[in-house]
Structure 1
């Protein structure tokens, strides 16, 4: 006797439904899906795009950022290309973005302005654009209060107004922290002129997400060939160098409660931790470096958090959890540059306990960024 496909499917569905009822009756109900908060998700504004293109077209060689991102994405990208999609999705803070989140099962995106943010402009313009960008972001969050949260940008090249904007962003706009796109005028946050910004971040008790950008002019030359300046290599080298400068420069002795977030599985720092500890101790002993209160690895666990953005390697995840501690690892996608579905699948399939998975998917983000 043969069974029709329709009868088989009907019977199977009914059987599964009855099995689910039986499991529930026995106290074995299927656990609810864990909440997913993505913590490095990019956006842009039309005003920023225009300002970036003004600089890029006037002086294409002024910065490696121009060739690695601005012109390829925003200056008439080829229709149907990835760059064309990036441009459209970066500018969208409503329909397509929310639909992509729904399709992949993403509950919340923590939004931050894409590279290079406001950090390539002269100070007054940078400060004005930071205010406008944060207002634009706050309006999007107000339209989607359960789906979006935000990191505020500011102009490090204009420290006084930057501190004022940091305070406004937290106390008035409700932002969850700050985004700094690595170097500013080829300088890094260990430079004394940025001290007011670090003091403000510590006083406001909000983390700074230290996001990569193309290598600064002082280190850019070897990265100009083979498309090395972008996400394939240069971005991580730039941000990792920035973080190491902050550690070895004693920033976290001066600001012990300052929190820095690194994307992309820690920009290679977890791999380097043993050697950083080893060589820092040697250099302090022979007088080549000022002694630090802690070993670099201890600052990494105390002052840093790491996200998985754009990096879907199980082996690297294990390394990062070991170096940073499970309570300092957060999930991220790197939308729109990476696939939301792939990022979800990566963490769902990772060799983690259900408690560890929930910790990385949402608990750490809720705690560190104060996301309700």
Structure 2
């Protein structure tokens, strides 16, 4: 079966080197011993991240993946100071566009934006989509202590809405005080704290809260064409749609119930967590039109893509929507 996967990461040596140089001149997150250990031992090596035509295409062919939608992961220029971020994001988007132009049948891409200057970010999103052919934007974590529902960032979402392209919310490092409060303990090592606060749980809780806050902010009443993508089966939020309707909706002062906004404006991917219980649950909660495939390559490289799609939980029509149809429609890939 044809498959399009949406959360597939890449880096470029020129951008990585420029980020390293800029980070040496600007504040960077202080990482715990556990987080440094996780990054050193669990994350892919630079050659794998930067590869385009070698192991990446071999993996795609082996798993029957027709197209990856490329984006930067955590090593990206989004959160640099404005002076560096604007130029580096433009360069990064140009690099993404060049890969897509060289392999248009295998790759599409999501832009990276200089969020420290939302007006410049909106302008760059227009350039990336209208001139470079990128299909949306990926935002990671938070910026400067602000979450993305803050009105400060509204121009970015207004641009995405006007362009008709989605915004992918991606996890990133959480503040140290949250790590200390929720995930640190003298009952386990700092390495375990680092895992629990990041890919084990904390990242997902954090970015799920961001999507929740987008709904609570009322932005979808202002921008009814805005579309979001949430990975890792929705980062915990779909588990609470009915609860949020019961507790939040009566007091929110919004036009619709929380679950109505979520089901209309959010698309969900597994991000490599190819697990049947979550698929069955999300199919019930979200419906067949709002689920799309993602492997989270190269952080995760699941070896059961075709088997997962063909295991019987989905009708043939649902399989096609999940595997490629919804992505083609949302990202205008045809």
* TM-score in terms of structure 2 length: 0.90
**Which digits, 9 at most, give the CA deviation of each residue in 1:83-133, with x for residues without a partner?**
3x4432111122221122112211100001112522331112111111111
Instruction: State the alpha-carbon separation in 1 of the partners of residues 200 and 208 from structure 2.
Output: 14
Pair 1:62 & 2:21 matched: no
**Which digits, 9 at most, give the CA deviation of each residue in 1:168-197, with x for residues without a partner?**
111111111111113111211211111111
Pair 1:199 & 2:199 matched: no
Pair 1:258 & 2:258 matched: no
Instruction: State the alpha-carbon separation in 2 of the partners of residues 99 and 359 from structure 1.
Output: 24
Q: Which secondary structure state, in structure 1, belongs to the residue aligned with residue 248 of structure 2? A: helix
Change (3 A) 1:68 1:346: farther
* 1:303 Cα offset (Å): 0.6
Q: Which secondary structure state, in structure 2, belongs to the residue aligned with residue 357 of structure 1? A: helix
Instruction: State the alpha-carbon separation in 2 of the partners of residues 128 and 334 from structure 1.
Output: 27
Rg bigger for which structure? 1
Instruction: State the alpha-carbon separation in 2 of the partners of residues 230 and 136 from structure 1.
Output: 28
Instruction: State the alpha-carbon separation in 2 of the partners of residues 178 and 312 from structure 1.
Output: 24
* 1:64 Cα offset (Å): 4.6
Change (3 A) 1:257 1:122: same
User: Structure 1 stretches of 5 or more lacking a match?
Assistant: 1-33, 285-289
* 1:219 Cα offset (Å): 3.0
> What does residue 13 of structure 1 align with?
none
* 1:53 Cα offset (Å): 4.0
Pair 1:334 & 2:293 matched: no
* TM-score in terms of structure 1 length: 0.81
Written as runs of structure 1 = structure 2, the 5 A alignment for 1:102-141 is 102-141=61-100
Pair 1:269 & 2:231 matched: no
Change (3 A) 1:217 1:58: farther
> What does residue 51 of structure 2 align with?
92
> What does residue 22 of structure 1 align with?
none
User: Structure 2 stretches of 5 or more lacking a match?
Assistant: 185-189
> What does residue 187 of structure 2 align with?
none
> What does residue 129 of structure 2 align with?
170
* 1:153 Cα offset (Å): 0.9
> What does residue 213 of structure 2 align with?
245
Residue in structure 2 matching 1:235, options 197, 203, 206: 203
Change (3 A) 1:108 1:220: same
Instruction: State the alpha-carbon separation in 1 of the partners of residues 291 and 33 from structure 2.
Output: 31
Q: Which secondary structure state, in structure 1, belongs to the residue aligned with residue 168 of structure 2? A: strand
Pair 1:40 & 2:2 matched: no
Q: How many residues align?
A: 325
Contact 2:78/2:89 (8 A) holds in 1: no
Contact 1:312/1:346 (8 A) holds in 2: yes
Q: Which secondary structure state, in structure 2, belongs to the residue aligned with residue 35 of structure 1? A: coil
Residue in structure 2 matching 1:360, options 296, 319, 322: 322
Greater RCO, 1 or 2 (C-alpha within 8 Å, sep 6+): 2
Instruction: State the alpha-carbon separation in 1 of the partners of residues 179 and 25 from structure 2.
Output: 20
Instruction: State the alpha-carbon separation in 2 of the partners of residues 143 and 63 from structure 1.
Output: 38
